[in-house]
Amino acid sequence: MRALGADVAVVVAFGQILPAAVLDAPRRGSINVHGSLLPRYRGAAPIQWAIMRGETITGITTFQMDAGMDTGPMLLSRSTTIGPAETAGELAVRLAALGADVLVDTLARLDALTPTPQPHADATLAPRLKRTDGYLDWHRPARELVNVVRGCNPWPGALARGPAGALTIWRATALAGAPTHAPGTLERPPAAGGELAIAAADGWLCPIEVQPENRRTMAWSDYLRGARIAAGAVFAKPDAVRPAS
């Protein structure tokens, strides 16, 4: 690294902490392009956790890297809204383009920028996703379940187990109301036009696009017809789901 004689290094989406000897090798140090508005969502999965926790605004931050995990002084940031139905994969594509713009701006203005220390007391963490982070707990509010579906698309997927076996829910909406059966039960919400939805703590999760285990992605209505599942069927708690092979 030192032999390159570089002025600055740029790190983007690198999944481990670099030692100080590497970070300090370039004359001007190393700059990271991070997919959140720091100090919120430090870690490997800031895009996913921002969606899963119901955030409506996120952005890009460039910062001077130090030995900590996303803890260095900030250089530039730019915000963007998160669409109400936007998935982690879709948001990542937008943030990649935004991050490129912010990086170019950062490098062009590097001599004039004053690094700003992060307010560490305001920090939140965004650890690497595990498959179990996508397990759907039907005792949670319907909107929170939708956020899990969005944040876990494209990986690991929001997982449940129905009468026909394991099911990944890729897209869904939330419907407010008062279910008449226990969470996880298929019902026909009054405002759903006769469509079946899954009861949650304060309403229903209305799947749109799903994928049965070892099958292709399909519409929710096609899945119900093919699996011959009717009102009253129950989807299991996430601890009953087994990871796909």
For residue range 13-60, what is the model confidence (pLDDT) as tens digits? 987 889 999 999 999 999 999 999 999 999 999 999 999 999 999 999
Residue 194: give the domain boundaries.
131-240
For residue range 142-192, what is the model confidence (pLDDT) as tens digits? 999 999 999 999 999 999 999 999 999 999 999 999 999 999 999 999 988
Instruction: Check whether residue 99 and residue 211 sit in a common domain.
Output: no
Last residue of some domain: 94, 122, 150? 122
* Separation CA 151–CA 226 (nearest Å): 27
Would the pTM of this model clear 0.85, i.e. be above it? yes
Q: Tokens 């309403």 sit at which residue? A: 203
Instruction: Check whether residue 118 and residue 135 sit in a common domain.
Output: no
Q: What is the CATH classification number for the domain harbouring 181?
A: 3.10.25.10
Number of domains in the chain: 2
For residue range 101-148, what is the model confidence (pLDDT) as tens digits? 999 999 999 999 999 999 999 999 999 999 999 999 999 999 999 999
Q: What is the CATH classification number for the domain harbouring 38?
A: 3.40.50.170
pLDDT of residue 58: 98
Instruction: Check whether residue 167 and residue 93 sit in a common domain.
Output: no
For residue range 208-226, what is the model confidence (pLDDT) as tens digits? 999 999 999 999 999 999 9
For residue range 63-80, what is the model confidence (pLDDT) as tens digits? 999 999 999 999 999 999
